[in-house]
Chain A
């Protein structure tokens, strides 16, 4: 699933069947190369939902056991929540020092949260296993030999 498709997914509590929020963006951990948490909007309380706390990331909605899973985020979530760690819209730089474009979308596995690929335009698709880091200046990926 692409970040662009997954954005605006409703977050629904399976205990109350009520919508408790809406996905607004994704926080990516460059070390594990997976989604650490999601930033939500339209919530009652708190703005972050850890990937490990969701029940499922479905085609139409994200399910959680209850609204109590949504919070202000632990330190690791807070650390990755700043603009410096955003992936989308950032320049994509290879470890050889060449710009490959701008990250326009990210493909991820909704079953695990693991990233599959970074998309820079329609032609440049970089496998997520090449991801080295996400910083204020660029998203860095290993250069292909």
Chain B
């Protein structure tokens, strides 16, 4: 398991096992209502190259690392519309969450979403799960203005306007990615236990 900010994934090169950089990540395509990453849209490499007609489904990604997105070969790419269509079938990409306000189910505004944290399963066939948001904290968190990480439940309710999280999420807020994985696990375990 490895956590990363989706803002860091954008622009990362897509590299084949043969060592060729065939594209770079343009945008992240969310699936399952924004709960997982379904794939990526791609842009060409180089300063002046625009978007590509091909996208990359998460299932065709060999590995998502700190420096590159690895694919076995160029056959891993598929038409962008197929990638988008596949994400729609799983419940859509959800609203664009960046800039949305996170509201706890107790009705407290926790802050504004700055970045999305995903957890990458290194095993082949593993999911790329959306596990948290980096938010600019509101007054309610006692660290107003600072950026903090807030864990998300497995499934979440989101509109373009608000994201609802269980009130207990604020007890599992993290400051950096290092310990955040454990916080997400603890938070989700606690939710599972409660229901």
**Chain A contact residues, CB within 8 Å of chain B:** 30, 90, 93-99, 132-140, 143
Contacts and interface: CB of A to CB of B under 8 A. Distances in A.
B20 A136 contact: yes
24 contacts: A30-B19, A93-B65, A96-B65, A97-B63, A97-B67, A97-B68, A132-B17, A132-B19, A133-B16, A133-B19, A134-B19, A135-B15, A135-B16, A135-B18, A135-B20, A135-B21, A137-B15, A137-B20, A140-B15, A140-B16, A140-B18, A140-B19, A140-B70, A143-B63
- Closest 6 pairs (CB-CB, A-B): A97-B65, A135-B19, A133-B18, A137-B21, A135-B20, A99-B67
Contacts, number: 69
A132 B63 CA distance: 14
Interface string B1-31: 0000000000001011111110000000000
Residue among A30, A95, A96, A136 with the most chain B CB within 10 A?
A96
Interface string B128-169: 000000000000000000000000000000000000000000
A143 to B, nearest CB: 7
By secondary structure, the A interface counts as: loop
Nearest to B12: A97
B63 A138 contact: no
A75 to B, nearest CB: 18
Contacts of A93: 15, 19, 65, 67-68, 70
A90 B15 CA distance: 14
Contacts of A98: 65-68
A50 B46 CA distance: 35
Nearest to B65: A97
B90 interface: no
A86 B70 CA distance: 20
A96 B16 contact: no
Nearest to B20: A135
A95 B63 CA distance: 7
B77 interface: no
Given A95-B17, A96-B70, 20 more contacts: A30-B18, A90-B19, A93-B68, A93-B70, A96-B65, A97-B67, A97-B69, A98-B65, A98-B67, A99-B67, A132-B17, A133-B16, A135-B16, A135-B20, A136-B19, A137-B20, A138-B15, A138-B68, A140-B18, A140-B19
Contacts of B64: 97
Contacts of A99: 66-68
Contacts of B65: 93-94, 96-98
B78 interface: no
Contacts of B62: 95
